[in-house]
């Protein structure tokens, strides 16, 4: 069986002592930063990205995946213990997880989050192994028009799933596309928007953009609007075990959450956050006694935590097989692959099977490591949470600066980061969601290239996008997505979901 042979190849790569070590370091560092409040997974991954640049591509990606999962886990720990989501996908975990902690069941909440995530991660890893090859095959049959339409779907989905005004989200996509075009035009060699700055002819780096907009913007926001006092549950977390009753309530929720997350994660625009919200809604709807929710219902932790991990992992599928990022973190992953000299797309699986399957296998290993290291190390993470923000943000600033600087040993990128930081805060204040911007930024050059190719094939006739069946289907899907969100009924639901 191909499937098993592929996984065997992957585990062969991932289980070498060196790569196990990198996975472990990645998980640890990711959790460490993920625990810190006020830095989301995008900023975490962006900040730690430079640590992986000096490694072999496989090892670098394995470590990066570890960082990503670590950040996810860290986020739920803060959600449960401090009622502060380390990242948006843990927002719902706060609701019941923190109540459980206040009821003296912090240990159980952490265990259920960890085990639920591990279960979801295992299932999602198998899903990746199962569905990636056929999807990549589909991708290989795509021509320029299909790719262009696919990216349109991805961007529309990102817009639809962004908070707040849709027009603003579209404008953010356009802004991202424009920023992505800065530099030398790959086709004609012409300079665009470089304003005479030589370094800009290589384009704007995505690390400065991501760290600035997502990381520094948040820091400024946190300084301007200090968080209310953190509600740290500091009673000793003695009992990590679930009671029989809790286990009975939790496992079906975990399975349902995994299912929800696996499906939503694959969709463009999906991923951890959407999955977590959907997972919570499902649990509340199915519960025999919905009034328990919000008061420490264990299903309210198990469902969304499984869903967000499954979703986070499933969102690797379109990224790895088609080269299309479904969300901001995947956009970062694409950037990281490119820095390692790998052009993401369907050819990765066939041309670099060891890299592809090694990464898939390391996802499962990373999930396992997180269960093992996280539960015993809870005490350490709690200590970290006691560090006041007035000290913490200085460390964030420093690691951002060093992270950006070491990408190219280039001071200019640090300056750029500072500017993007201000812009990031402006976006927060003006209620412009930055995720669509990052997606547009990553997809900008790719979209232009495919648009140009498509136009050359068709001799300048835009009908080519409607004449080819797959492309037409994708564009119809994009149009439906927009239409659906425009309907007043769904609009209300969408706002409701985002209100959490």
Task: Provide the H-helix boundaries in 459-487.
Answer: 464-467, 469-486
Instruction: Report in angstroms how near the CB of residue 354 gets to other proteins at its nearest.
Output: 24
d(CA 98, CA 448): 46
User: Distances in Å between the alpha carbon of 39 and those of 217, 273, 429, 486?
Assistant: 10, 15, 17, 32
Question: Which CB atom, from 51 or from 114, has the smaller least distance to other proteins?
Answer: 51
CB of 201 to other proteins, least distance (A): 12
Q: How far is the CB of 319 from other proteins (least distance, A)?
A: 24
Measured from the CB of residue 444, what is the shortest distance to other proteins in angstroms? Answer: 9
How near is the Cβ of 176 to other proteins at its closest, in Å?
A: 10
Per-residue tokens: 477: 């899907």
d(CA 352, CA 342): 9
Pull the structure tokens for residue 224.
């301007």
In the complex, the smallest distance separating the C-beta of residue 430 from other proteins, rounded to whole angstroms, is 4
Residue pair 417/211 in contact by the 8 Å Cβ criterion:
yes
Nearer to other proteins, 431 or 496 (CB): 431
Residues 318, 312: Cα–Cα separation, whole Å:
12
Bridge partners, 183 (sequence order): 192
Nearer to other proteins, 15 or 178 (CB): 178
> Strand 191-192 vs strand 183-184: parallel, antiparallel, or unpaired?
antiparallel
Shortest spacing between CB 23 and other proteins, in angstroms? 16
Give the integer Cα–Cα distance in Å for 103 and 101.
5
Based on CB atoms, which residue is closest to other proteins, 192 or 292? 192
Output b/e per residue, 301-319; b: 16+ Cβ within 10 A: bbbbbbbbbbbbbbbbbbb
Nearer to other proteins, 138 or 223 (CB): 223
Q: Which is nearer to other proteins, 20 or 171 (CB)?
A: 171
- Helix boundaries (H) for 267-352: 272-286, 299-314, 316-322, 328-339, 347-351
Q: Which residues bind other proteins (CB under 8 A)?
A: 50-51, 54, 165, 167-168, 170-171, 174-175, 177-178, 181, 185, 187-188, 190-193, 195, 216, 219-220, 223-224, 226, 390-391, 393-395, 397-398, 400-402, 405-406, 409, 411-412, 414-415, 417-419, 421-422, 425-426, 429-432, 448, 451-452, 455-456, 459-460, 462
Judged by beta carbon, residue 165 or residue 347, the one nearer other proteins is 165
């Amino acid at each position: 069986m191909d499937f098993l042979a592929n996984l065997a190849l992957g585990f062969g790569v991932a289980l070498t002592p060196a790569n196990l070590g990198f996975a472990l370091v990645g998980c640890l560092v990711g959790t460490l930063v993920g625990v810190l409040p006020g830095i989301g997974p995008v900023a975490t991954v962006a900040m730690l990205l430079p640590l992986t640049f000096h490694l072999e591509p496989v090892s670098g990606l394995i470590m990066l995946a570890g960082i990503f999962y670590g950040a996810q886990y860290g986020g739920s720990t803060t959600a449960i213990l401090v009622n502060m989501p380390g990242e948006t996908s843990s927002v719902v975990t706060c609701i019941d997880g923190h109540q459980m902690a206040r009821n003296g069941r912090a240990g159980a909440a952490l265990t259920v989050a960890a085990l639920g995530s591990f279960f979801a991660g295992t299932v999602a890893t198998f899903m990746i192994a199962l569905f990636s090859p056929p999807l990549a095959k589909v991708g290989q049959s795509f021509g320029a028009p299909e790719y262009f339409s696919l990216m349109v779907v991805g961007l529309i989905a990102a817009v639809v799933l962004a908070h707040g005004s849709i027009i603003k989200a579209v404008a953010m996509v356009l802004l991202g596309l424009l920023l992505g075009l800065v530099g030398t035009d790959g086709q004609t060699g012409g300079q665009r928007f470089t304003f005479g700055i030589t370094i800009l002819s290589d384009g704007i780096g995505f690390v400065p953009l991501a760290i600035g907009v997502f990381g520094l913007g948040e820091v400024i926001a946190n300084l301007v609007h200090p968080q209310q006092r953190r509600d740290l549950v500091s009673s000793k977390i003695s009992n990590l075990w679930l009671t029989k009753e809790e286990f009975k309530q939790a496992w079906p929720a975990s399975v349902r959450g995994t299912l929800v997350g696996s499906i939503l994660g694959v969709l463009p625009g999906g991923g951890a956050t959407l999955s977590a919200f959907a997972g919570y809604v499902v649990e509340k709807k199915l519960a025999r006694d919905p009034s328990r929710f919000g008061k420490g219902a264990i299903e309210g932790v198990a469902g969304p935590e499984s869903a967000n991990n499954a979703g986070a992992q499933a969102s690797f599928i379109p990224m790895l097989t088609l080269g299309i990022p479904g969300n901001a973190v995947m956009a970062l992953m694409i950037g990281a692959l490119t820095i390692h000299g790998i052009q993401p797309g369907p050819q990765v699986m066939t041309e670099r099977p060891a890299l592809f399957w090694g990464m898939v296998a390391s996802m499962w290993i990373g999930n396992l490591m997180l269960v093992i290291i996280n539960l015993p190390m809870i005490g350490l993470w709690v200590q970290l949470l006691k560090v006041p923000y007035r000290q913490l943000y200085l460390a964030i600033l420093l690691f951002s600066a060093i992270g950006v600087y070491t990408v190219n040993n280039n001071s200019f990128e640090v300056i750029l980061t500072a500017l993007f930081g201000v812009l990031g805060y402006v976006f927060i204040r003006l209620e412009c969601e930055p995720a669509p911007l990052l997606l547009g930024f990553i997809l900008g050059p790719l979209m232009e290239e495919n648009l140009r190719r498509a136009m050359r094939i068709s001799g300048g006739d835009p009908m080519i996008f409607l004449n080819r069946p797959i492309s037409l289907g994708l564009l119809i899907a994009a149009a439906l997505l927009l239409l659906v969100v425009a309907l007043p009924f769904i609009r209300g639901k969408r706002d409701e979901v985002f209100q959490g």
